[in-house]
Structure 1
Amino acid sequence: MHSLETVILLLVFVLGLALLAQRIHLVFPILLTVGGLVIGFIPGLPRVVLDPSVVLLVFLPPILYSAAWYTNWSDFRQYVEPVIVLALGLVLVTSLGVALLAHSIIPGFTVSMGLLLGAIISPSDAVAATTIMKTQSVPRKIVTILEGESLVNDASALVLLQLALTSVTTGAFSLENALLEFVILSVGGIGTGLALGFISFCIHKHAKLEPALETVLTFVTAYLAYLVAEHLHLSGVLSVVTAGLFIGHKQSRVHSPIVRMQAVAVWDFVIVLLNGLIFILIGLQLPHVVNAIRGQSADYLCVYGIGISLAVVVIRFVYIFMADTVSNQIRSLIHRAPIFPSRRYTTLLAYISMRGIVSLAAVLSIPEKLPNGSPFPGRNLILFITFCVILFTLVVQGILLPLVIRALAFGQPSTDYLSRHEVQKQLSQRALRQVQRLIDQDKLTGIAVQAVIAQHQMRVRELANAETAPLLDQHQLNQKLMLTSIQAQRDELINLRDRQQIDIELFHEMENELDRQEIQWHPVSG
């Protein structure tokens, strides 16, 4: 079977799984994991061989850039303390714990190989968990911390992966040198991402490119941030994340509605495609991986997979409860309220330890051979254990997550965010003031002017009375006033986001509504 035919076949399979996930109301990543396992044992399917040197390059930049793009910087900054404690401390503790456990229970498994395995399976993946929690009554604080942890721990784990790969390849490891290299990789990667993000921002703002080219530029930024940092021997992952955070926070002010809507559609397609392909690709390799693990019985392989999976879960529980206890004591001494009001928050945060696409991409990036030409030690076993951890944490814990949430009984979550109705009211009031200012400034008169004023006055009155506001009439004579009002609403919406008064999901939803309205009134915008 030709390579193109194989890719098309895999895409059809991914699409089928997506449709099945919607039909049976199962989170897509969970079904992808099971589907990847099943497809690997279907006879007659081709073996897809991936070049380990390009796996991270192909899969990670768009996935990490997209996640950073949608991150609310204000929320991220507000909860930076727990995010850093989880994304740095927990990654390090998990990696070391897995390294020691693997070294003690797996014959011939060195500490360096264990550290490599630990770095691969240490980053959590919040996609499945947050998707499930959207249908449950869960405090927004937990979702925000999980998303921030998932974003940053990908970077810290993959920096640690680079150090572990060097250790296995050279056979030497120095803690002092590793820590120094970690700092250099991290700081350099962040600086590179900021520089390239700023350059991309200037191009977006001043170049006035066609919408299609603007979308291309977003992809170029993601891949260039990774490539430049890697070429400079810095952290490409942190560079991508930093550039994504920077551009994502600025995009509401520099992208036109057409560019934003087109880019979001293209990016959503690419992310679904990459997520689907990598799960299926590892499924196709699993039978060959299992066959290649010589000298190990199936019973022992299961023990290794289940044992390390349980260790990952237990380490997270112990670490988070200890960190929460220490944090509460410190905050009590400095007279600050605890981050979490009860242990229910800590329990849910500790339970959610799903692994996903970053671990898959990381394990597939391990080279098959060492520089001297000998096989990379334990590669197939590391790949097998990684899939076991993903299968256990994503499928088993993911399926049980709704039951855990209901058992914790959070009730109706309180929030400091404004409701959708309150946001609409503030936007309409801002629009009315801005339109009136324009009318007074340009001394505008006529039926069109009075019609627009009447529409916005009616909208403000009806929102004040909690009634549904009517749709705006689309009339060409009103274009200037309507675009002014839309821009005023957009400015107010961004201000609400920057003041942390609006949930980030509602922000993107209402921004999308304003984009559609602006495109209707000014279709040549771009």
Structure 2
Amino acid sequence: MHELLPFMLALIIAIVLIEMLAEKLKIAYPILLVVAGLLISFIPGLPTIQIDPDLIFFIFLPPILFEAAWSISFKEMKKWWRIIGSFAFLVVFFSALTVALIANYFIPGFTLALGFLLGGIVSPPDAVSTGAIMKFVRIPKSTAAVLEGESLLNDASSLIIVRFALVAIGTGQFIFQTAITDFFWMVIGGIGIGLLGGWLFIQAHKRLPTDAPSDIVFTLVESYLLYWAAEQVHSSGVLAVVAGGLFLSTRRLSFLSSASRIKGLSFWEALIFILNGIVFMIIGLALPEIVKGLRADGIPLRTAIFYGALVTVILIATRMISSYAALIATVLFRPSVTPGRGLSWRRIFALPLLLGWTGMRGVVSLAAALSIPLTLPGGEAFPHRNLILFVTFTVILFTLLIQGLTLPLIIERSNLFDYGRELPEDEAKMKVKNHLVVETIRLLKEKQKKGQYDDPHLQKMIDQWEYKISQPEHLRMTEQTKQNYLELLESQRQFLSKLNKDTEVHEEYINWQIYQIDLEEERVRLL
């Protein structure tokens, strides 16, 4: 363990530095992490990273899915639920079925059950990769909502396929009636446990004298408990985490303090960044070991690469075909809920090209592949395990490099989107501010009329808010004004730092005031 610790610390430092480089180059950081991991793996003398297949899901997936559920807009998910559902379930199943049939036909000794296992592993697109790429390009909110909602739910559908495939491989049989019953229990049980667990956690937050650190720790524990509870009764732990996370996120204002929300956001961003970084680095680091396993099984590397490329092409093609089918069905039967209603018909039918090209694979596919047991229940080696791992790693690598690097260029140069009906970000934020100002004035005047406020400064507050609504330009802060204000805040921090050295004022109060300045700086940066 002591020998491995320096390597793990160096790995984390490398992840942070690579993310900085990716930000400067405007490239999604998962792409550089995979390449870096592959290059690092060729350095002689490095320790081999081995992860227990039984623990890979439990270590990485619960917090990653939980944070994704907290970050997504539930309102947008409800708005676009039809097309999100199509991509998250029908498209995933169609992709898995196509991969299963092709693998069964082309790969010698590859049964249909093994094909479904491989198809379930590689079918879900990766939310992290797509999100990292979307940081550098602008797409309509409706399209972003579809991609985010799909990426949150398709993990559950693909892992259900993986579970059934593992059962069929282990037992050598597939009973349809039992599979249907198990499927409904996994879905209904997982969602039910997630909602019940979310409600219980809210009660615990409300009734216990928690503070920000304990609230943050609770939210981390909640993700693992939801997953564990669902898996104990053989339902979907992924659906439990997603359902519980959505339930908690929509009610966060009712049980979390402002301090818990502010500090929790930073904690979760750092945690998920490190977890994702480690997973993507492992993708590159593990490839040489998988290649050794292939050679031990007598499979030529060139043949395995061909299988990986074949599966990659199948996935891209089936996703595009499915994208067209889903969009055409939506246009025909529910035209009012078609994403991107500001698009021309030419652009509407070009949209599936974009949706089809966003199918980068990543964290969930890797976790599912590494979770394949080493042996079957009878003790014999799991068939084609190394080949499935190699194909999965190849698909992740190819989709990240090919689709991940070209997607921003396609979006920018295709002139695919027309933002005429979508408010610019500055105007949308200003609209929200105006609504807030109007409601604030109404509330203050209502309290004043009822005599609930006898503060002599109340009228001054009303005057200030009325001035803001009558002079909306004063709500907008120019870049130069913002820069001047940020420099002022930095001067205040420097003054307080000197004051802390030169006076007898307790440092606790100095730090408290610096924290207020930090919060103000974050507020200004968001303007």
1:140 paired residue number: 141
CA distance in 1, matches of 2:169, 2:452: 75
Kindly state the Cα deviation for residue 60 of structure 1 after the two structures are TM-superposed.
Answer: 0.3
Which residue is 1:371 aligned to?
377
2: CA distance, partners of 1:402 / 1:312 = 20
Letter in 2 for 1:350: G
Q: Secondary structure at the match of 2:206?
A: helix
Label 1:139 to 1:207 Cα distance change in 2 as closer, same or farther (>3 A): same
User: Where does residue 51 of structure 2 map in the other structure?
Assistant: 50
Deviation at 1:27, TM superposition (A): 1.3
Other-structure match for 2:9: 8
Q: Does 1:311 align with 2:314?
A: yes
Q: Distance in 1 between matches of 2:521 and 2:211?
A: 17
Aligned pair count? 477
Report how far residue 53 of structure 1 moved: 0.5
Q: CA deviation at 1:353?
A: 0.9
- Alignment CA distance shift 1:466-1:209 (3 Å): closer
Is 1:458 matched with 2:467?
Answer: yes
Determine the C-alpha separation between the residues in 2 that align with 1:388 and 1:256. 45
Q: 1:20 to 1:517 in 2, by over 3 A?
A: closer
Shift in CA distance, 14/279, structure 1 to aligned 2, threshold 3 Å: same
SS at structure 2 position matched to 1:50: coil
Tell me which of 320, 328, 338 is aligned to 1:325: 328
In structure 2, relative to structure 1, the CA distance for the partners of 1:131 and 1:289 (3 Å cut) is closer
CA distance in 2, matches of 1:26, 1:114: 33
Q: Which residue of 1 aligns with 2:491?
A: none
Match of 2:298 in 1: 295
1:194 to 1:337, Cα distance in 2 relative to 1, 3 A = closer
- Cα offset for 1:118? 0.6
Distance 1:222 1:362, change over 3 A: same
Q: Distance in 1 between matches of 2:473 and 2:20?
A: 42
Q: Distance in 2 between matches of 1:135 and 1:276?
A: 19
Aligned to 1:414: 421
Q: Structure 1 residues 67-76 or 32-41, which shifts more? A: 32-41
| Contact map agreement 1:462 1:468 (CA 8 A) in 2 | no
Please show how residues 495-514 of structure 1 align to structure 2 within 5 Å. Answer: none
Q: Which amino acid aligns with 1:347?
A: L
Cross-structure match for 2:243:
242
Query: Which residue of structure 2 aligns with residue 491 of structure 1?
Result: none
Secondary structure at the aligned position of 1:419 is classed as helix
- Tell me how far 1:464 sits from its aligned partner: 6.6
Q: Structure 1 residue 441 and structure 2 residue 442: aligned?
A: no
Letter in 2 for 1:323: A
- For 1:310, the aligned partner's letter is V
Q: What amino acid does structure 1 have at the position aligned with 2:113? A: S
- Which residue identity lines up with residue 220 of structure 1 in the other structure? V
- 2:164 is the alignment partner of 1:163: yes
How far off is 1:362 after superposition?
Answer: 1.1
When residues 168 and 197 of structure 1 are mapped into structure 2, their CA distance, relative to the original with a 3 A threshold, is same
Quick check: 1:230–1:236 contact (8 Å CA) kept in 2? yes
Residue 519 of structure 1: CA displacement?
A: 12
Cα 1:435/1:360, change in 2 over 3 Å: same
Q: Which residue of 2 aligns with 1:509?
A: none
Change (3 A) 1:208 1:519: farther
Q: Which residue of 2 aligns with 1:112?
A: 113
Q: Which amino acid aligns with 1:320?
A: S
Shift of 1:339: 4.8
Seen in structure 2, the aligned counterparts of structure 1 residues 273 and 338 have a Cα distance that, compared at 3 Å, is: closer
* Aligned twin of 2:434: 425
Tell me the equivalent position of 2:185: 184
2 CA distance for matches of 1:64 and 1:414?
Answer: 32
Name the structure 1 match of 2:496.
Answer: none
- More displaced, 49-58 or 316-325? 316-325
Residue by residue, what CA displacement relative to the aligned partner does 1:53-99 show, whole Å, maximum 9, x if unpaired? 01100100000000011111111011000011111101111111111
- Cα pair distance change 1:451/1:338, threshold 3 Å: closer
Equivalent residue for 1:497?
Answer: none
**CA offsets 1:338-379 (integer angstroms, 9 cap, x no match):** 555521222211221111111111111111122222221111
Tell which deviates more after alignment, 240-249 or 340-349. 340-349
CA contact (8 A) 2:122 2:392 kept: yes
How has the CA–CA distance of structure 1 residues 519 and 382 changed in structure 2, closer, same or farther, with 3 Å as cutoff? closer
1:518 & 1:35 partners in 2: Cα distance?
35
Cα distance in 1 between the residues matched to 2:129 and 2:251: 27
- Cα distance in 1 for partners of 2:396, 2:282 equals 14
> CA, structure 1 residues 339+19, in 2 after alignment: closer, same or farther (shift >3 Å)?
closer
Q: Distance in 1 between matches of 2:461 and 2:338?
A: 49
Letter of the 1:150 partner, please give it.
S
Matching residue of 1:213: 214
Counterpart of 1:199 in structure 2 is 200
**Which amino acid letter does the alignment assign opposite residue 352 of structure 2?**
T
Query: Residue deviations 1:249-292, cap 9 Å, x none?
Result: 11133211100011111111110110011122233322111011
State the 1:168 CA deviation. 1.4
1:257·1:519 contact (CA, 8 Å) conserved in 2? no
Q: Cα distance 1:42–1:451, how it changes in 2: closer, same or farther (>3 A)?
A: same
Structure 1 396/210 Cα, relative in aligned 2: closer, same or farther at 3 Å?
same
Give me the whole-angstrom Cα distance separating, in 2, the residues matched to 1:22 and 1:136. 13
For 1:505, the equivalent position in structure 2 comes to none
- CA shift digits 1:196-239 (9 cap, x unpaired): 01111222233241111111111111111000000111110000
- The 2-side partners of 1:212 and 1:221 are apart by 14
Q: Any unmatched runs of 5+ in structure 1?
A: 473-512, 521-526
Look up the equivalent residue of 1:459 and give its one-letter code: K
1:4-59 CA-to-partner distances (Å, cap 9, x unmatched) read 23321221221221222123222111212222222222221110111110110010
Structure 2 Cα separation of the partners of residues 209 and 354 of structure 1: 40
Residue of structure 2 equivalent to 1:353: 359
What amino acid sits opposite 1:14 in the alignment? I
- Give the letter aligned to residue 355 of structure 2: L
Gap runs ≥5 in structure 2: 342-347, 486-515
Which residue of the partner structure matches residue 405 of structure 2? 399
**1:118 corresponds to which letter in structure 2?**
G
Q: Is the 8 A contact 1:120 1:362 kept in 2?
A: yes
Structure-2 separation of matches of 1:136 and 1:466: 27
**Matches of 1:189 and 1:428 in 2, distance apart?**
42
Deviates more, 1:17-26 or 1:153-162: 17-26
Q: Structure 1 length normalisation: TM-score? A: 0.85
- Is the CA contact (8 Å cut-off) linking 2:142 and 2:339 kept in structure 1? no
Distance 1:384 1:421 in 2: 50
CA distance, structure 1, for counterparts of residue 337 and residue 23 of structure 2: 41
Distance 1:166 1:276 in 2: 31
Name which of 390, 396, 411 aligns with 1:390. Answer: 396
Tell me the equivalent position of 1:231: 232
Change (3 A) 1:25 1:468: closer
